[in-house]
Structure 1
């Protein structure tokens, strides 16, 4: 049952922030003298425990390098770690403005799968995130989407019930996971479609409610 609150819970990458910089993985593969395809496979296969704070950054990169049969020395690990953080650092300026503007009409929160050290760098570079009602990074809360625990963390932090929340993500499995808990969901494909969906879900600007989906 809804408490009549309206909370828009955003994913970060692919919605407010841009996906990884093109060519970044090839650059990292070259740094450790590994074939591009093998590096990409190791990078993503080893990623889930890193996102969920089960592995530290050195543990993650050691696992990647060992999978590639490459030496996991401290200098290489640190260079790869910093290059990785930089590759995920870009935002969509229009979406940043839009997300902030919604605070006039709703509570705005964020839930992202991102390692702890990446989260620290992102918060330092994007201080506007601190103005949101809740910011949850998987590497900090030790749960990553689509694990229900990630969504439940946000609900607890916001003291909200699922029906209060519209969750916005560019990955269908994450949207479905939110909907399975009772949240409203929107699969992000662009700002125009999102704005229309949010306008339908939120009360109108004169205070009257519009139909919810």
Structure 2
């Protein structure tokens, strides 16, 4: 192993909290499964950068049969960005220590443009990564093979010299299918022995 490629959400940053989910539902005026099925089923093109936030939320509105005006869409984008903005300080600190020790680190995240811009503005630790692969910028979203091959090329390393760390089994298996080593993240306690 020469480089470690980290997922963001569920590893370095936290998933949406119940309060953040409630805010999104309340902003949309739609709650429960109907909202979240539309939210997730339509997400991949938004994460990949094929759509901007306005286009994505218009697609969600169409799926829900509920019109969102421009003001509502702006509020939804803001609520969505806020819902994904909590970081895991312990993991961020640990990754920083890895970089200080000379470990080559990268980040591969399914993230839309508005959220990527927010992280770049507010999270200085992103500068520690030698490879920063935001799906909205590289045109590939996990578990698409292009996301992993893009990172391998950016590292200048063959896949077998990269360890990919993600909390989603499907994403790890897709990386392994291309030759990367994989670790399904559950906690720092479980990850540390793999890296040390």
Q: Give the TM-score, by structure 1 length.
A: 0.88
- The one-character-per-residue Cα deviations of 1:160-183 (angstroms, maximum 9, x if unpaired) are 111110110000111111111111
Indicate yes or no: 2:35 matched with 1:39.
yes
Pairing 1:132-147 to 2, within 5 Å after superposition: 132-147=129-144
- The structure 1 residue matched to 2:15, chosen from 16, 19, 24, is 19
**Partner residue, 1:66:** 62
Indicate yes or no: 2:48 matched with 1:52.
yes
Unpaired segments ≥5 residues, structure 1? 200-213
**Partner residue, 2:77:** 81
**Partner residue, 1:10:** 6
**Partner residue, 1:204:** none
Indicate yes or no: 2:105 matched with 1:108.
yes
CA distance in 1, matches of 2:24, 2:103: 40
CA distance in 1, matches of 2:102, 2:191: 15
Pairing 1:198-213 to 2, within 5 Å after superposition: 198-199=195-196
Unpaired segments ≥5 residues, structure 2? none
Please state how far the C-alpha of 1:134 moved relative to its aligned partner: 0.7
**Partner residue, 2:147:** 150
Please state how far the C-alpha of 1:115 moved relative to its aligned partner: 0.6
Q: CA RMSD in A?
A: 1.2
- Select the structure that is richer in helix: 2
CA distance in 2, matches of 1:20, 1:33: 18
CA distance in 2, matches of 1:139, 1:80: 18
On the 8 A contact 1:25/1:40 being kept in 2, the answer is no
Please state how far the C-alpha of 1:149 moved relative to its aligned partner: 0.3
Residue 18 of structure 1 aligns to a residue whose secondary structure is: coil
CA distance in 2, matches of 1:32, 1:110: 31
Please state how far the C-alpha of 1:36 moved relative to its aligned partner: 2.5
Please state how far the C-alpha of 1:59 moved relative to its aligned partner: 0.7
CA distance in 2, matches of 1:29, 1:189: 28
- The one-character-per-residue Cα deviations of 1:140-161 (angstroms, maximum 9, x if unpaired) are 1110011110011111111111
Please state how far the C-alpha of 1:65 moved relative to its aligned partner: 1.2
Count matched residues.
Answer: 195
CA distance in 2, matches of 1:29, 1:192: 34
